Amino acid sequence: MRIVFIGPPGAGKGTQAERLIETYHLAHLSTGDMLRAARDARTEVGQKADQYMSRGELVPDDIIVEIIRQRLDRPDCREGYLLDGFPRTIAQAESLDKMLNTKGTPLDVVLEIRVPEEELFRRLAGRGRADDQPEVIRQRLVAYRKQTEPLLEYYGKQGLLNSVDGLGSVDDIFARLRTVLDRQPK
C-alpha cells in the first residue's frame, strides 16, 4: 500500500507511524526525520532546512520534493510505504501525483488524524524537542492550518481521504487506522 499520513504536529503521528510500518510492512518516509538527520550531519541541505525548521516554518517545496524523489526510487519503496509529514503543501501534493503517475504507482489511501488545537498545544508543550518552544509550536500550528489543511480537500476530491479521531489511547487510535487500512482492496 502507498499511504499518505496527515496530521498536525502533536497528533501522535510518529507513534502511530511506527506501528503501521511494522504491521503492514511499509517503508517509513518521514521528511521530518530525514531533515533532522541531514541537519545533524551538517549537510548543505540540512543546514539550509534548519533555518526554517528552527522557526517552525515549512522548508521550501523544491528541497523537500527532491528529497522525496530520490527516496521513492529506493528499492524498499516497491512493496509500499507510509509518507509521514509529506506532502505538506498543495504544490508538494501535485509534484507527488506527477511523480507517481509517471511511475504508474498512484496513492492508495490518505489517512488523517484529527485532534483539536487546544489539545495539540497542551501535548506539544510537554514534549521537549528543540522546535517545541511555545512560539515555534504556534508557528508550526499556523503552518499546518494554512498550508497543510488544504490537502484535506485536495485528497477528499480524489476520494482518497480517510479521517480518524485522534483522541483516546494509542491503542484506540491504532485500531481506528487499522479499520481504514483493512478495508482497502489488496
d(CA 75, CA 56): 32
Instruction: Give the cell for residue 167.
Output: 483522541
* Per rule CB under 6 A, count of chain residues that contact ligand AMP: 18
Q: How far apart are the first and last CA of the chain?
A: 8
Does 31 contact ligand AMP by CB under 6 A? yes
Binding region for ligand AMP (CB under 6 A) out of 79-87, 99-107, 114-122, 165-173: 79-87
Does 4 contact ligand AMP by CB under 6 A? no
Does 32 contact ligand AMP by CB under 6 A? yes
What DSSP element (H or E) covers 46?
Answer: helix 44-53
d(CA 18, CA 181): 15
Does 64 contact ligand AMP by CB under 6 A? yes
Closest distance of CB 140 from ligand AMP, Å: 5
Instruction: Give the cell for residue 149.
Output: 489543511
Q: Which residues bind ligand AMP (CB under 6 A)?
A: 9, 31-32, 35, 52-53, 56-59, 64, 85-88, 92, 131, 140
